[in-house]
Amino acid sequence: MYSMDNKTVIVTGASGGIGRESARRFAAEGANVVVADVAEEEGQETVDLIEEDDGEATFIQTDVSSDDDVASMVDETVEIYGSLDAAHNNAGILTEMGPLTELDESDWDALLDVNTKGIWLGMKHEIPAMADNGGGSIVNTASEAGLVGFPMAAGYVASKHGVVGLTRTAALEYADDGIRINAVCPGPIETPMTAGLEDDQREAEIADIPMSRMGEPEEIANAAVWLCSDEASFVTGHPLSVDGGRVTD
């Protein structure tokens, strides 16, 4: 649908959930995909799934909160495939939730290190590689929590608001370099992150979604691939809600 033939794409957090489906969808559209994650076994499983479908993929173990790791990830990508055309900076975590005044400092630091610093580091190293190649496209995974507040989730909300702010700012700074930068903002999605919800929690989430269901990872992957494709050639700096209508303002 959105041809990515002969293009090279990095997907971080690609060992499962949204990242795995994004990597598979990019590969299905003809891209060479770098599967980046801290989890080696699960990341290689993503590569295997892509190769079973006759796609091209390589696993690079990466801690997105490490400048050295992210720099190496981009350098290895260019060394293997010759260029970098697109990236889906998707890696993210969710720690214990609770009132703001009761949050643990280590949880706060972990959220900001992975969810926000990880996005900054990704763009820091991806943008120069794309500029050398004449342009490219980046999609950052934010969240509906990057657009509105949610009680009992101050650290996560702060980290994802940071992603939206970084996305908007980077889009302005690098538009002249032919690099489009957008964010996808998922609502509740059927991923390992939501698998632990109790029945009453799941029902409450669904009751708050106008489309009366949780989303599937493939639906976020579809949005990410579209934003990276030439079909979205005049879209930049945009946080795209994919949440069944839960956040409309």
Q: Which of 119, 91, 77, 88 is nearest to 26 (CA)?
A: 88
Please give the model's pTM, rounded to 2 decimal places.
Answer: 0.95
- Any domain includes 116: yes
Q: What is the pLDDT of residues 108-142, one digit of tens each?
A: 999 999 999 999 999 999 999 999 999 999 999 99
From residue 242, give the alpha-carbon distance in Å to each of 79, 180, 196. Answer: 34, 19, 21
- Number of neighbours of residue 5 by Cβ within 10 angstroms: 8
Q: How confident is the model at residue 40 (pLDDT cuts 50, 70, 90)?
A: very high
Please, what is the Cα angle at 231 between 166 and 58, to 5 degrees? 70
pLDDT band at 78 (very low <50, low <70, confident <90, very high): very high
Domain contains 1: no
Q: Is residue 247 part of a domain?
A: no
Tens digits of residue pLDDT in 158-202: 999 999 999 999 999 999 999 999 999 998 888 776 766 667 777
pLDDT of residue 246: 84
Determine the pLDDT at residue 206: 74
Query: Is residue 245 included in any domain, yes or no?
Result: no
What pLDDT does 195 receive?
Answer: 67
pLDDT at 248 over 90: no
Using CA atoms, how far apart are residues 149 and 38, in angstroms rounded to an integer? Answer: 29
pLDDT category at 1 given cuts 50, 70, 90 is: low
Q: What is the mean pLDDT of residues 194-221?
A: 79
| pLDDT for res 189 | 83
Q: What is the CA radius of gyration of the chain?
A: 17
What are the pLDDT digits (tens) for 48-64? 999 999 999 999 999 99
The CB density around residue 121, as the number of other CB atoms within 10 Å, is 25
Task: Please count the structural domains in the chain.
Answer: 1
Task: State both tokens at 93.
Answer: 């975590």
What's the pLDDT band for 17 if we cut at 50, 70, 90? very high
**246 in any annotated domain:** no
Structural domain contains residue 2: no
> What does 87-101 look like in DSSP terms, one character per residue?
EEE--------B-GG
- Domain residue limits at 101: 8-240
Identify whether 248 is part of a domain.
no
> Active-site residue numbers?
156
Output the domain CATH number for residue 82.
Answer: 3.40.50.720
User: Picking from 74-78, 79-83, 199-203, 234-238, which range would have the lowest pLDDT averaged per residue?
Assistant: 199-203
Residue 22: its pLDDT value, please? Answer: 98
In a domain, 87, yes or no: yes
Mean pLDDT check: name the lowest of 3-7, 69-73, 85-89.
3-7
